[in-house]
Amino acid sequence: MINSNKVMLITGAGKRIGAYIAKAAHADGYNLALHYRTSMEQTHELAKQLNAIRNNSCLCIQADFDYEFDFKKIITEIGSKYKRLDVLINNASEFFATDIAELSPQNYDKLFNSNVKGALFLSKACLPLLLKSQGNIINMVDIHADKPLKNYPIYSMAKAANKMMVKALAKEYAPTIRVNGISPGFIEAPVDEKMNSDVINRIALKCKGNKQHIYQTIQFILENHYLTGQIIRIDGGRSLHM
């Protein structure tokens, strides 16, 4: 366990990978700010469980990345409760297919606001607190930032922008703040067993990954103080066959 009062902000913290990161970071001794947009029940239940383990160690913050004021609200609440921020995990992400022939501005905005705008403007809002702590930003990217996923063109484009954001902010925020990214591969398995089998056959290690692999990479990034501007693929070698 980290013996400190360090604070981690996780966006999209109520479910899936975000919730796992929250539990693992809390076990490592971090105080947490758990962001959600619509997953109020799941996020507050998670905070209740973690606060029962260590009192007053979790804060829930609702924010919609469509609205600029919400970025300021997040930082105001963190500053008021903890007075510091050490790690920002830009995890929140919309993910859905888009038929290019029927593409709508609304779907474009949903995908780019959650995957690009949110991470960028939240990173900007967090800058004063991260400068004080000489902190870290970690973006959850995607292996499809490099090779597009069929039927998901706008999502793939948004993740490509997210990947470039990592490199651009690493240069802009150096030398005080380190900025890195993680590109997960097959971590959250879909229900379709045939799809599972087809994807696993294209993975060099012939198995899907798990959330622990993601958090182990977060730990590695945070502990390696000579690492910035890098995107680490956690895909079992799937990108070798894409």
**What band does 227 get if pLDDT is binned at 50, 70 and 90?**
very high
**What angle separates helix 16-27 from helix 40-53, to the nearest 10 degrees?**
10
Alpha-carbon distances of 177 from 124, 130, 146, 219, 222, rounded to whole Å: 12, 7, 25, 16, 11
Q: Which pLDDT tens digit goes with each residue over 42-68?
A: 999 999 999 999 999 999 999 999 887
Q: Which pLDDT tens digit goes with each residue over 147-164?
A: 999 999 999 999 999 999
For residue 194, the model assigns a pLDDT of: 64
For residue 97, the model assigns a pLDDT of: 94
**What band does 238 get if pLDDT is binned at 50, 70 and 90?**
very high
For residue 190, the model assigns a pLDDT of: 55
Cα 70 off chain centre by? 18
For residue 242, the model assigns a pLDDT of: 76
Q: Which residues pair with 235 in a beta bridge?
A: none
- The conformation of residue 114, written as its DSSP 8-state character, comes to I
CATH domain 7-241 topology:
Rossmann fold (3.40.50)
Phi and psi at 209, nearest 5°, equal -90, 180
Q: Which pLDDT tens digit goes with each residue over 181-219?
A: 999 999 975 555 666 788 888 999 999 999 999 999 999
Alpha-carbon distances of 160 from 115, 143, 174, 202, 231, rounded to whole Å: 10, 9, 22, 22, 11
